[in-house]
């Protein structure tokens, strides 16, 4: 039997950390609960449960925004990334500039910019369609996703040994065939962990949309707190929201690490 590898040092995605964070939040809620009951007000847990359906629909919007921004950004980013390795210098330069611009812009500023630069409504073939705030915010998040995916693609392609290109070329493959059959299939495995990491970051950035007036989980939590007008609810309610994001993002982080680990073992 092979010797058991030594236990790795505690990391921030260790289950024990998750347990610790959950404990702290619950503890804070528990203390607030005790105080509330003493003061004769409805308990903190009941109040949170009362608002959960509403804030839950907001959270669904966070997930939808992140999923749409990620899907659209990935498609655009793949194209932009391939342009970055184009043989045509103007294409390469243009896509590089676009990538760098959106990669180095603060996401919140991009959101504001998109909210104001995009029209409120468009008329297509005589039909007038309103573009809701959340959709414009989603587009705002799509841009940095696109730029980051573009860099992930470029990095993955460049990380492959040049011998792969040479071998394919010497076998008569043209550039498109080489990319499609030799280079990109190998890149896929390399791109998956950073791509999932990016998704987790996008999810965690969706509350930024609350600042530009999108009624997602963060905005609804603030709304609920305004309605309750109770200072003792501030920490437990924001804590519950934190937990909801953590519960959604942490499995993604775990899966990413598992994939990275598997890739290392195979290599």
CA torsion sign, 202 to 216 to 108 to 130? Answer: positive
Q: Which of 161, 226, 231, 264: binder of other proteins (CB under 8 A)?
A: 161
Q: Is 27 in the site for other proteins (CB under 8 A)?
A: no
Q: Between 80 and 168, whose beta carbon lies closer to other proteins?
A: 168
Q: Indicate the residue among 61 and 168 with the shorter CB distance to other proteins.
A: 168
CA 99/CA 91 separation, integer angstroms: 12
Closest approach of other proteins to the CB of residue 153, in Å: 17
CB of 77 to other proteins, least distance (A): 22
Q: Which is nearer to other proteins, 41 or 186 (CB)?
A: 186
Answer yes or no whether residue 93 interacts with other proteins by CB under 8 A: no
Q: Is 172 in the site for other proteins (CB under 8 A)?
A: yes
164 makes contact with other proteins (CB under 8 A)? yes
The verdict on 167 binding other proteins (CB under 8 A) reads yes
Q: How far is the CB of 171 from other proteins (least distance, A)?
A: 4
Is 186 an interacting residue with respect to other proteins (CB under 8 A)?
yes
- Residue 133 or 192 having the CB closest to other proteins: 192
Q: What's the rounded Cα separation, in Å, for the pair 13 and 122? A: 45
CB under 8 Å, gap of 24 or more: what pairs does 231-237 form? 232/32, 232/35, 232/36, 232/44, 233/32, 233/44, 233/47, 235/28, 235/29, 235/32, 236/25, 236/28, 236/29, 236/32, 236/33, 236/44, 236/48, 237/47, 237/48, 237/51
Distance (Å, whole) CA 79 – CA 88:
14
Looking at beta carbons only, is 35 or 174 nearer to other proteins? 174
DSSP state of 123: E
Are residues 180 and 210 in contact, defined by beta-carbon separation less than 8 angstroms? no
Question: Three-class SS of residue 124?
Answer: strand
Q: Which is nearer to other proteins, 60 or 171 (CB)?
A: 171
Name the segment binding other proteins (CB under 8 A); options: 30-38, 40-48, 168-176, 232-240.
Answer: 168-176
Binding flag, residue 182, other proteins (CB under 8 A)? yes
Question: Of 41, 177, 192, 197, which lies in the binding site for other proteins, with binding defined by CB under 8 A?
Answer: 177
Nearest distance in Å: CB 250, other proteins: 31
Residue 173 touches other proteins, criterion: CB under 8 A:
yes
**Which contiguous run of DSSP H or E holds residue 113?**
helix 107-117
Residue number with CB closer to other proteins (184 or 242): 184
Q: Name the residue among 222, 207, 56, 53 with its Cα closest to residue 134.
A: 207
List residues binding other proteins (CB under 8 A): 161, 163-164, 166-174, 177, 181-182, 185-186, 266
């Amino acid at each position: 039997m092979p010797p058991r590898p030594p236990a790795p040092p505690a990391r921030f995605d260790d289950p024990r950390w998750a347990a610790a964070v959950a404990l702290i939040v619950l503890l804070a809620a528990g203390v607030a609960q005790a105080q509330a009951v003493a003061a004769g007000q409805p308990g903190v847990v009941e109040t949170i449960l009362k608002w959960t359906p509403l804030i839950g629909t907001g959270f669904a919007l966070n997930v939808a925004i992140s999923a749409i921004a990620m899907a659209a950004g990935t498609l655009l980013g793949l194209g932009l990334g391939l342009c970055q390795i184009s043989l045509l210098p103007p294409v390469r330069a243009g896509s590089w500039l676009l990538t760098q611009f959106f990669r180095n812009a603060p996401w919140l500023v991009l959101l504001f910019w998109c909210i104001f630069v995009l029209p409120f409504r468009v008329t297509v073939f005589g039909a007038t369609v309103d573009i809701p705030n959340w959709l414009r915010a989603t587009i705002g998040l799509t841009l940095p996703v696109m730029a980051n995916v573009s860099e992930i693609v470029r990095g993955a392609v460049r990380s492959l040994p040049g011998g792969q290109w040479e071998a394919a070329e010497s076998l008569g493959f043209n550039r498109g065939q080489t990319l499609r059959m030799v280079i990109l299939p190998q890149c896929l495995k390399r791109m998956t962990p950073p791509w999932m990491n990016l998704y987790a970051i996008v999810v965690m950035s969706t509350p930024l949309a609350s600042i530009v007036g999108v009624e997602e989980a963060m905005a609804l939590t603030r709304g609920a707190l305004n309605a309750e007008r109770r200072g003792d609810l501030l920490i437990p309610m924001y804590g519950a929201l934190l937990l909801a994001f953590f519960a959604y993002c942490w499995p993604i982080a775990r899966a990413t690490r598992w994939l990275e680990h598997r890739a290392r073992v195979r290599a």
